[in-house]
Amino acid sequence: MTYELFKQQLVENLRTFFSADTQISIQQFPHNNRLVLDGLTILEPGINISPTIYLNHYFEQYCKHSDFSAVQQQILQYYHQHCPLNSIDTTFFTCFDQVSPRIVYKLIHYEKNRELLNEIPHFPYLDLAIVFYCLVPETPYENASILIYNHHLLYWNISADDLLQLARKNTPFLLPWRCSSLAEVIFPALSFFPDYRQPISQTVLKEESIPMFVLTNSQQYFGAACILYPQALSEISRNLRDDLYILPSSIHEVILIPVSLAGNPLELSQIVQEVNLTEVAPDEVLSDSVYYYQKEEEHLILSQT
């Protein structure tokens, strides 16, 4: 079955599970780094919001196992686990006084998102771009947000500078930064290992004393933007008494390494590139660059490694 036939057959089959006035459609949704995915939405009567179910992954499963009914059942199960019970009030987005306290920023790669940047307010930052979104309150979906476009500024009669000023105040408050050692991040995952392996794994991590730290925000959502917070890198570098190499592990977090413990800095960019190619989803890649934070100058630059 071709991908086009897969999508057509899926929509036809799903209609048999819902009432006749349910709207079932597949649309293309642009994502970060020029990635475009096909998203299935199911709008039942009286509901104005639906989880978007991206089909590319499900088609890959079908190609591997050739079991269409099993894939269809997974999609239905996902929908029923995430479908809303009520509509949400979207009128708040038309009132700037209601929107302004929830405007925040995130970081994306500049060159990989040039077409998108033509449509949205942004500010260049190193090889990245600062862009803006609104956190949607009281939704059934964790981290629901709306990207802010140029036409929104016209509607609200504000400027990009106004957005930046609001986001600088709101983002650290609504999404406060947190920094944990890599070992602290890894330890909770050890609960998935058999009991006899846990003490060994923890001993190895403690003995290695991994000199790496994960910086993100409280929601672990677009947390790489924490490098923009006025006090985050300054406080961390002072506590570690060292300059920092910053490795962008994704749009959601960065890895910090004290410079004196980094080993050969020439290897860092190779590590970032390899991880981006093999471990990070294409739409979650931030950059292949390595950054350098100078503690005394309190200044972040692109590393020359």
Taking alpha carbons only, the member of 174, 141, 169, 134 closest to residue 155 is 134
CA angle in degrees (0–180, nearest 5) for 164-168-170:
110
Over its C-alpha atoms, the chain yields an Rg (Å, rounded) of 22
Residues 75 and 104 in one domain: no
Among residues 22, 57, 82, the one where a domain terminates is 82
Residues 199 and 297 in one domain: yes
Number of Cβ within 10 Å of residue 209's Cβ equals: 9
Residue 267 scores a pLDDT above 80: yes
Residues 23 and 66 in one domain: yes
Residues 168 and 237 in one domain: no
Measured CA to CA, the distance from residue 160 to residue 123 in angstroms comes to: 9
Residues 181 and 170 in one domain: no
Facing residues of 214 across strands?
Answer: 180, 255
Check: CB of residue 140 under 8 Å from CB of residue 85.
yes
Residues 191 and 289 in one domain: yes
- 10 Å CB burial of residue 95 (0-12, 13-18, 19+) is exposed
Residues 6+ apart with CB under 8 A from 81: none
pLDDT given at position 140 = 54
pLDDT given at position 139 = 56
Residues 66 and 120 in one domain: no
Q: How do 253-258 and 213-217 pair as beta strands?
A: antiparallel
Among residues 49, 82, 115, the one where a domain terminates is 82
Which DSSP state fits 230? T
Residues 274 and 181 in one domain: yes
**In terms of pLDDT, which residue wins out, 58 or 196?**
58
**In terms of pLDDT, which residue wins out, 124 or 46?**
124
pLDDT given at position 209 = 54
Check: CB of residue 236 under 8 Å from CB of residue 244.
yes
pLDDT given at position 304 = 75
Among residues 82, 112, 138, the one where a domain terminates is 82
Residues 205 and 295 in one domain: yes
Q: What value does the mean pLDDT take over residues 48-70?
A: 91
- Mean pLDDT, the chain, whole residue set: 88
Percentage of the chain surpassing pLDDT 90? 71
Q: What value does the mean pLDDT take over residues 124-138?
A: 92
**Structural domain tally of the chain?**
3
Report the chain's terminal Cα–Cα distance, integer Å.
48
Residue 72 scores a pLDDT above 90: yes
**Strand locations in the chain (E):** 23-30, 36-43, 53-54, 103-109, 122-125, 128-135, 145-147, 177-181, 213-217, 244-250, 253-258, 291-294, 299-302
pLDDT given at position 202 = 45
Residues 19 and 56 in one domain: yes
What does the DSSP assignment read for 197-228? GHHHHHHHHHHHT---EEEEETT-SSGGGGGG
Q: Can you give the residue range of the structural domain that contains 28?
A: 3-82
Residues 74 and 183 in one domain: no
Residues 70 and 107 in one domain: no
Q: What is the pLDDT of residues 4-17, one digit of tens each?
A: 999 999 999 999 99
pLDDT given at position 46 = 87
The band of 143, judged by pLDDT with boundaries at 50, 70 and 90, is low
Q: What is the pLDDT of residues 185-233, one digit of tens each?
A: 554 444 444 454 444 444 434 434 558 899 999 999 999 999 999 899 9
pLDDT given at position 208 = 47
pLDDT given at position 184 = 67
Check: CB of residue 58 under 8 Å from CB of residue 13.
no
The band of 252, judged by pLDDT with boundaries at 50, 70 and 90, is very high
HEC sequence for 88-139: CCCHHHHCHHHHHHHEEEEEEECHHHHHHHCCCCEEEECCEEEEEEEECCCC
What is the pTM assigned to this prediction?
0.85
Residue 182 scores a pLDDT above 50: yes
